[in-house]
Amino acid sequence: MWNLMTLDGYFDGAENWALDWHQYAWGEELERMSIEQLRVADMLLFGRVTYEGMAAYWKTAQGDVAGYMNSLPKAVFSRTLERADWQNTKLMKGDVKKEVEELKRKGEKDIYVFGSGNLCATLMEQGLFDEYRLCLVPVALGSGKPLFGSALSRLRMKLLESRPLASGSVLLRYEPYAD
């Protein structure tokens, strides 16, 4: 999982794509880290809402990050989407757990999930994340969409890395504890 998160636990504002607060974290360091992640990715996974927003933006974007976002294989999990028209995207309508386990078996490198709160909740419940990467942004929104939701069971994590950025944000890497 890779997400930006506010101090009060939101990954999105009260409305879909209310992400103006991302500007507080963005800069050369975060761009470099994003490119490093994309270089070692086999594919990207999205839920429908995040897929639609990402596709609308990245299809016409320019630059190094855009090149990776457009060329990498992608999968979108949706029960309602009829087709996925973003370059290199496969529409997944089957059992999420089975589909993701198969993608992990086939892959050789990392698979990232960006945004996609509902998909992330499902993957967390199924124990399918090997690592959680968060950029904690020094802002409190007061309302929005919580990254970890309220219906999840307890998940203890082990800190792998913490790295402050010049923006005041902190990159955090965790893995689930193997109990």
Give the pLDDT band of residue 155 (cuts 50, 70, 90): confident
What pLDDT score was predicted for residue 150?
67
Reduced to 3 DSSP states, what percent helix, strand and coil does the chain have, rounded to the nearest 5?
30, 30, 40
**Residue 169 burial by Cβ neighbours in a 10 Å radius (0-12, 13-18, 19+):** buried
What pLDDT score was predicted for residue 94?
86
- Per the CB < 8 A criterion, the answer to whether 54 and 112 are in contact is no
Tokens of 133: 């990467």
pLDDT tens profile 93-109? 989 999 999 999 998 89
Percentage of residues of the chain with pLDDT beyond 90: 76
- Residue 110: strand, helix, or coil: strand
Which residue range is the domain that position 45 belongs to? 2-176
Give the pLDDT band of residue 173 (cuts 50, 70, 90): very high
Domain at 156, CATH number: 3.40.430.10
H/E stretch holding 94 reads none
Percentage of residues of the chain with pLDDT beyond 70: 99
pLDDT tens profile 117-126? 889 988 998 8
What pLDDT score was predicted for residue 179?
66
Residue 133, pLDDT > 70, answer: yes
45-63 CB burial, b ≥16 within 10 A, e <16: bbbbbbbbbbbeebeeeee
pLDDT tens profile 50-75? 999 999 999 999 998 999 999 999 99
Name the domain count of the chain.
1
Tokens of 45: 């996974």
H helix runs in the chain, sequence order: 28-39, 48-58, 64-71, 96-106, 117-125
Nearest to 1 by CA among 141, 166, 122: 122
